[in-house]
Chains A and B, each alone.
Chain A
Amino acid sequence: MAFVLRRLVQALLTVFLTLTVVFILAHLSGNPVALYLPVTASTEQVHAMEHLLGFDRPIYVQYAAYLWSAAHGDLGTSFSQNLPALQLVLERLPNTLYITLFALVMMIAVAIPFGIVAATRSGSAADFLGSGVAVFGQSVPVFWLGLVLVLVFAVRLRWFPTFGSGGLSHIVLPGVTLGAYSMGVVTRLVRSSMLEVFQADFLRTARAKGLPHLRVTLKHALPNAILPALTMIGLQVAYLLGGAVVTEQVFAYPGMGQLALQAINSRDFNVVQAFVIVVAAITVLVNTTTDITYGWIDPRVTYE
């Protein structure tokens, strides 16, 4: 229980740090008042606007006010659309989650079997194929894979739509593109941790008892080898949410990454900030849950 509490405090601290970094970045970016006013605005008009927006207050007051409204779910208003920034980002969140989930499921469905086969038949054709998949995933540029998939499966074969959202057919190509890298990382990790567990004493005992190979692999080795993979899968969620920016751009898929890129181009800082904070919050949530689950699955894990 102390472990869970400590982990939760740590999670809150990380979200707080992210908020602070975003606040500092926002203040380094220059005077935001200029974005609201025409270049011909007089000094009095600038001062009046600063007062209206609260930018004439001392920096620590602004920081406290910022944290206070962030805690109430207010991350500012979008300059270009005049709507709450957080609302704009959250509207796009489900679309991003669809492709992220597709990528996660594909990653787990490919990485775990491939990793196991590659480890049990080390040096075989299956191992070669598994390692090939892993190296491919880790080396291929996400945007390039996306472009090639569009070219082959959407433009030439016309199996899938080239862009946009709506239904499963729109999710397949972006999902595959997004998941490729993580699939490589996790396949390698499952393989190497399986190989490590195969050396363990308890596995030699299991074999010496005469248990069948399949049972030794699935009942004795896998549960022990899967733990590092679980942490890695949790960490991959952060990567997937970031990678979604690229994927959504290539497929013109209306997720929150695409929104963030558009916001950068229109200098709509509040939307960019809301995006950064939402992604960080999801990442922290997933990593905390993974760590807590980890301690629950493996009783040997205690916190110091």
Chain B
Amino acid sequence: MLVGGAIVLLVVLTAVFAGTLSPHDPEAQSLVARLLPPGSPSYPLGTDALGRDLLSQILFGSRISLDIAVRAVVLSMLIGTALGLASGYYGGVIDSILMRLADAQLAIPYLVLAIAIVATFGAGVVHLLIVMVLGGWVYYARVIRSSTLAMRSMEFVQAATAVGASDARTVVRHILPNLLSSVIVISTLQLGQMILIAATLSFLGLGLPANVPSWGGMAADGEDYLATAWWIATLPGMAIFITTIGSNYLGDGIREALDPKLRI
């Protein structure tokens, strides 16, 4: 957990200080400095086919990757938690509809859903975010629903209702605080997955536009040069790998500490 936390912290700091840390402008092209291998003077991780510094691109890429992943996690969390609470507390028709939706959601592979949506609306930041949230809300909704359902019949909730607390007050003041640990655990574990998803979709050309220096897009650019300049495709992928490992370890650690029985 400590190792995971340290990696995540490092990536966050990198994203914040990308401007100061980068030795070059990530967009600056140079004809003389094309396809330089890692370890070249003033280009520690080498350059790509347009002579752009790979290190600077990876540093700035962390900003984009974290930004979109955090937004997707927060939106999924808000929507999933709200729907899960409504579903578990009220039951009935709302519950049936939401849970059937969740089932249908899990039946269609996530990437396939992304393909269907991007094929319809085109690629772009907003569409990418929609795709990510569509895949992300289900995990919160399911866990929160079953916990809420169990909690609804517990004495403290019935006591709150008995003294005249409104539905909203019961849910927000009495049920929600008991679910926070689950929400935190799911969010940390999801962060890594969201980074992976954004990178994968960008790699396929279904995510972030080509002019944004994202890790997945960089790897896609480098694919054509794999045999001659291996570093362009593999180093940004390494950045994704390290970040995801960090957030998975952190998430596992938080789960062990807060909610060891939770499975998502």
Q: Give chain A residues whose Cβ lies under 8 Å from the Cβ of B230.
A: 151
Docked complex Cα distance between A29 and B127 (Å):
13
Q: Mark B223-264, 1 if CB is under 8 A from A, else 0.
A: 100110010011001101100110011000000000000010
**Interface contact A139-B104, CB-CB below 8 Å:** no
**B226 with A141: CB separation less than 8 A:** no
Query: What range describes how many residues of A lie at the interface?
Result: 35 or more
Would you give the shortest CB distance from A143 to chain B, in whole angstroms? Answer: 5
Q: Does B151 sit at the interface, judged by CB under 8 A?
A: no
Set A141, A239, A264: member contacting B119, Cβ < 8 A: A264
**Residue among B107, B203, B263 with max Cβ neighbours from chain A (10 Å):** B107
Contact A242 B111 (CB under 8 A): yes
**Which of B100, B106, B108, B223 meets A147, CB within 8 Å?**
B223
**A264 and B118 in contact, given A155-B227, A245-B204 (Cβ under 8 angstroms):** yes
B219 and A241 contact, CB distance less than 8 A: no
Q: Do residues A29 and B227 form an inter-chain contact, with CB atoms below 8 A? A: no
B residues less than 8 Å from A10 (CB atoms): 103
A275-B115 contact, Cβ under 8 Å, with A142-B200, A264-B206: yes
Q: Mark A234-274, 1 if CB is under 8 A from B, else 0.
A: 01001101110110011000000000110111010100110
Distance, CA A279 to CA B196, complexed state (A): 22
- Name the B residues within 8 Å of A267 (CB-CB): 119
Q: How far is the CA of A148 from the CA of B236 in the complex (A)?
A: 12
Which range contains the number of B residues in contact with the other chain? 35 or more
Task: With A155-B226, A155-B227 as known contacts, state yes or no: A276 contacts B108, CB within 8 Å.
Answer: yes
- Name B's A-contacting residues (CB within 8 A): 100, 103-104, 106-113, 115-121, 192, 196, 199-200, 203-206, 216, 219-220, 223, 226-227, 230, 233-234, 237-238, 240-241, 244-245, 248-249, 263
Which A residues are within 8 Å of any B CB, using their own CB?
A: 10, 13-14, 17-18, 21-22, 25-26, 28-29, 135-136, 138-144, 147-148, 150-151, 155, 192, 235, 238-239, 241-243, 245-246, 249-250, 260-261, 263-265, 267, 269, 272-273, 275-276, 279-280, 283-284, 287
Q: Could you list 24 A-B pairs, sorted by A, with CB under 8 Å? A: A10-B103, A18-B108, A26-B120, A28-B120, A136-B245, A139-B241, A141-B216, A141-B240, A143-B219, A143-B220, A144-B233, A147-B223, A151-B230, A242-B111, A250-B223, A261-B204, A263-B119, A264-B115, A264-B119, A269-B120, A273-B116, A283-B108, A284-B107, A287-B107
